[in-house]
Structure 1
Amino acid sequence: MTTPETRPVYLGGPRFQSDPAELYREMRRDHGAVAPVVLDGDVPAWLVLGYRELHQVTGDPQLFSRDSDLWNQWDRIPADWPLLPMIGRKQPSILYTTGERHRERAAVISEALESVDPFELRGHAERFADELIDGLCGKGSCDIVGEYAMLLPLRVLARIYGFSDEQGPGLVTAMNDMINGREGALDGQRHLGESMYALLAAKAEAPGHDVASRMLANTAGFTLDEVAQDLMVMMAAGHQPTADWIGNSLRLMLTDDRFAASLAGGRHSVGEAMNEVLWEDTPTQNVAGRWTTRDTKLGGRTIARGDLVLLGLAAANGDPHVRTEAGALTGGNNAFFSFGHGEHRCPFPAQEVAEVIARTGIEVLLDRLPDVDLDGSAAELTRRPSPWLRGLTALPVTYTPTPALGASR
């Protein structure tokens, strides 16, 4: 007989669209800091809900490894499993590399991103943001997510990585299909891979002032496959979460009375909204994963060797043991897990790139559409059905139509 304390929770379904925070509270009540879950196909795993436990897992790569070859469920995984792009067999990417080799690869990525001029980065973000808004400003209404937030990060990343602007829409579709982990996920992964290898072939022939060329020129001895895989990881990690950071922050500013008074001129409140989102509505909800190298105990649970451990970043951010005033403005407190923790956390230069793109995108939109307002009620807003990334399916708004910048020059 199963009870709430022993029954695994399906990691998917409408609860992740409606109110995942309440779902995490229920899981914590029934299971404690570490909960048994099942993935598509009844594949078992563990979801870490506790802040301290997540700190323990991410801080001990020897016990909780990124080596997916350790997984004790591979004999149950079909070749067309839709979560393979998210929880795949060991690939030549930084995600599945451990030890000194991982540290060397992280340094290559950081150096390539640190070489991006911050003023040039913001200039690209402003230009692409203005171009997107030029196509929207005369309409008087639009969907900020589908027509703006979902397009901007990839436009900027494509430019600094070395892609042409024309390749952006196809990459957006492929990336979203892959990350959502449903039908089309494997096709999306293939499209992204083919695009990356084509980019590297072009840059090997004619290097440029871009991230891909800098990674190819690095003398650390990485193979073409390793560089391509790392670029794919960087693109995926930099696009969708940043788009959701823009959408979730604008949703907060448009629906929360605390931001209403400053919305029109709202540059000073943008940073507060973005920081609060990383605590309360973080785009990256759950991350796969870690695999145990031996039998161990975690949060009172017995975790067997080779078990899959999922990182519940959103749940840990809301852990009542460390968040005694959840829901309050978090100010400059950056102790959230939204960028991960430990040696596999998002590299700091990548965080800076994401923040510049997201903040610029929000500021340009508020400058160009100062009377933007939600079209409908906050209760009507829905989320994508993904347990991994939390973002809106749409954010409909209205505003006073204005001429495009090009028309006023």
Structure 2
Amino acid sequence: MIPDAVPLSGPEFQSDPGRVYREMRRTHGPVVPVLLDGGIPAWLVLGYRELHQVSGDPVLFSRDSDLWNQWENIPEDWPLLPMIGHKQPSILYTVGERHRERAAMLSEALEAVDPTELRWHAERFADELIDAVCSRGEADLIGEYAMLLPVRVLARLYGFSDEEGPALVTALNDMIDGRERALDGQAYLARSMAELIAARTAQPEDDVASRLVAGNRGFTDRELAEDLMVMMAAGHQPTADWIGNSLRLMLTDDRFAASMFGGRNSIAEAMNEVLWEDTPTQNVAGRWASRDTQLGGRHIHAGDMLVLGLQGANSDPQVRTHGSALTGGNSAHFSFGHGEHRCPFPAQEIAEVIARKGIEVVLDRLPDIDLAVPAEALTRRPSPWLRGLTELPVRFTATPALKGG
């Protein structure tokens, strides 16, 4: 273990992670020795070029967590186990040709989502959520909106009924919250996905689950259910934070004020800037070295874990300067990953439609929206992994609901 390894935890990730990454890079370079929960050693890859190398070489830097040289030191109740994926039969931890087959199967199932249907469901659920708060003149756009919208849309696209949606929202948010209800939430989701796969095997419909079953390339029902759960979780929380972080930017930055009052011109620019500067997925565990190698001037041992520092790489001064223009379509960020295990392109498109439609509905439905607290009072979840607001309190002129309004 390197003596000056940096704990990958602490309140600074909540308050100013950008400063943390700058200090790490200044002290250690593009590959930083870090300590995970319980003092477990790993490497945090902050360099843009180094991250491109790691994520683009699935043989040398494998997704197979069985390679990890720290398993003997990992307790059964280690809080990061769900992120590491040991013995989990999902696409996240499949490698080689089987991963490519599985990724193609999932992409095909998602690619067939009708764009018009997607936008309609996103707007419908967004309107329902705004209907619940618009007459009050105040709301928390995280807890009452952003954390509810993506999973409702995804559940409908995957094949769940609208009546099943709210319970899935609760279970998924419980699992992501990581507290006392996390395991119950995970178990509920697993059961729901297994039941959906069984139902669509018996009676196919026009949904993602049915297409996954129809296009199955030799995977078990359990593997299909695991993949549905992975897609649901990966599609929900980052999209919810994308909505929340973008709205925060538009409410606090004068450059985007025009979009808050009668226009939508800079919504896409705000969303793109968030992916560069305030990306929902900050760090991802991980990759494992299949043999001894060198990376960023560091000697990496076989079995070492590498944590992908997506936000750190996005702000690498070797590839961009502070304050450089990020709008106008520059999407060379790492927010969706890179290489074989990056977020499938159809999933990215679905997330973008949900996030953009969610923001548009807020701007359309809530006139003269403004923060209800000073900008500096907004707080983030204390996580080095996902970056999102704990709440986004706003006030606005009360308006009647659309339904019956």
- The TM-score, its normalising length taken from structure 2, stands at 0.97
Please say if residues 180 and 386 of structure 1, whose CA atoms lie closer than 8 Å, have aligned partners that are also in contact.
no
Paired residue for 2:66? 69
Please say if residues 82 and 183 of structure 1, whose CA atoms lie closer than 8 Å, have aligned partners that are also in contact.
no
Shift of 1:327: 5.9
- The structure 2 residue matched to 1:114, chosen from 111, 114, 123, is 111
Paired residue for 2:47? 50
Note the alpha carbon deviations across 1:150-183, whole angstroms, 9 max, x for none.
0000000000001223333333343334335455
Alpha-carbon distance between aligned partners in 2 of 1:347 and 1:122, rounded to the nearest angstrom: 19
Q: Could you list the runs of 5+ residues in structure 2 that have no partner in the other structure?
A: none
Alpha-carbon distance between aligned partners in 2 of 1:304 and 1:174, rounded to the nearest angstrom: 39
Q: Counterpart of 1:290 in 2: which secondary structure? A: strand
- Aligned pair count reads 405
Please say if residues 63 and 293 of structure 1, whose CA atoms lie closer than 8 Å, have aligned partners that are also in contact.
yes
Residues 320-331 of structure 1 mapped to structure 2, 5 A cutoff: 320-326=317-323, 328-331=325-328
Q: Counterpart of 1:282 in 2: which secondary structure? A: coil
Alpha-carbon distance between aligned partners in 2 of 1:167 and 1:285, rounded to the nearest angstrom: 31
Change (3 A) 1:312 1:167: same
Paired residue for 2:149? 152
Paired residue for 1:142? 139
Please say if residues 85 and 186 of structure 1, whose CA atoms lie closer than 8 Å, have aligned partners that are also in contact.
no
Shift of 1:303: 0.9
- The structure 1 residue matched to 2:159, chosen from 157, 162, 175, is 162
Please say if residues 85 and 93 of structure 2, whose CA atoms lie closer than 8 Å, have aligned partners that are also in contact.
no
Paired residue for 2:341? 344
Paired residue for 1:385? 382
How much identity, in percent, do the aligned residues show? 74
Please say if residues 368 and 396 of structure 2, whose CA atoms lie closer than 8 Å, have aligned partners that are also in contact.
yes
Change (3 A) 1:389 1:58: same
- The structure 1 residue matched to 2:235, chosen from 235, 238, 242, is 238
Q: Counterpart of 2:235 in 1: which secondary structure? A: helix
Alpha-carbon distance between aligned partners in 2 of 1:233 and 1:261, rounded to the nearest angstrom: 37
Paired residue for 2:91? 94
Paired residue for 1:200? 197
Please say if residues 163 and 199 of structure 1, whose CA atoms lie closer than 8 Å, have aligned partners that are also in contact.
yes
Please say if residues 90 and 223 of structure 2, whose CA atoms lie closer than 8 Å, have aligned partners that are also in contact.
yes
Residue type of the alignment partner of 1:23: V
Q: Counterpart of 1:166 in 2: which secondary structure? A: coil
Note the alpha carbon deviations across 1:301-358, whole angstroms, 9 max, x for none.
1111111111000000000111114364432101000000001000100000000000
Alpha-carbon distance between aligned partners in 1 of 2:168 and 2:13, rounded to the nearest angstrom: 25
Paired residue for 1:315? 312
Note the alpha carbon deviations across 1:106-165, whole angstroms, 9 max, x for none.
111110011100000000000000111011100000000110000000000000001223
Alpha-carbon distance between aligned partners in 2 of 1:176 and 1:297, rounded to the nearest angstrom: 39
- The structure 1 residue matched to 2:280, chosen from 278, 283, 303, is 283
Alpha-carbon distance between aligned partners in 2 of 1:240 and 1:224, rounded to the nearest angstrom: 25
Residue type of the alignment partner of 1:152: L
Mean Cα deviation higher: 9-18 or 46-55: 9-18
Q: Counterpart of 2:82 in 1: which secondary structure? A: coil
Alpha-carbon distance between aligned partners in 1 of 2:35 and 2:202, rounded to the nearest angstrom: 47
Residue type of the alignment partner of 1:308: M
Shift of 1:240: 0.3
- The structure 1 residue matched to 2:8, chosen from 8, 11, 33, is 11
Q: Counterpart of 1:142 in 2: which secondary structure? A: strand
Mean Cα deviation higher: 242-251 or 321-330: 321-330
Note the alpha carbon deviations across 1:216-266, whole angstroms, 9 max, x for none.
111422211211111111111100000000000000000001111331123
Mean Cα deviation higher: 310-319 or 199-208: 199-208
- The structure 2 residue matched to 1:404, chosen from 386, 398, 401, is 401
Alpha-carbon distance between aligned partners in 2 of 1:27 and 1:183, rounded to the nearest angstrom: 33
Q: Counterpart of 1:406 in 2: which secondary structure? A: coil
Mean Cα deviation higher: 351-360 or 258-267: 258-267
Please say if residues 320 and 326 of structure 1, whose CA atoms lie closer than 8 Å, have aligned partners that are also in contact.
no
- The TM-score, its normalising length taken from structure 1, stands at 0.96
Residue type of the alignment partner of 1:352: E
Please say if residues 83 and 181 of structure 1, whose CA atoms lie closer than 8 Å, have aligned partners that are also in contact.
no
Determine if the alignment matches structure 1 residue 362 to structure 2 residue 359. yes
Note the alpha carbon deviations across 1:46-105, whole angstroms, 9 max, x for none.
110000000000011110000011011111112121111111203221111111111111
Alpha-carbon distance between aligned partners in 1 of 2:131 and 2:315, rounded to the nearest angstrom: 39
Alpha-carbon distance between aligned partners in 1 of 2:343 and 2:95, rounded to the nearest angstrom: 15
Alpha-carbon distance between aligned partners in 2 of 1:195 and 1:189, rounded to the nearest angstrom: 10
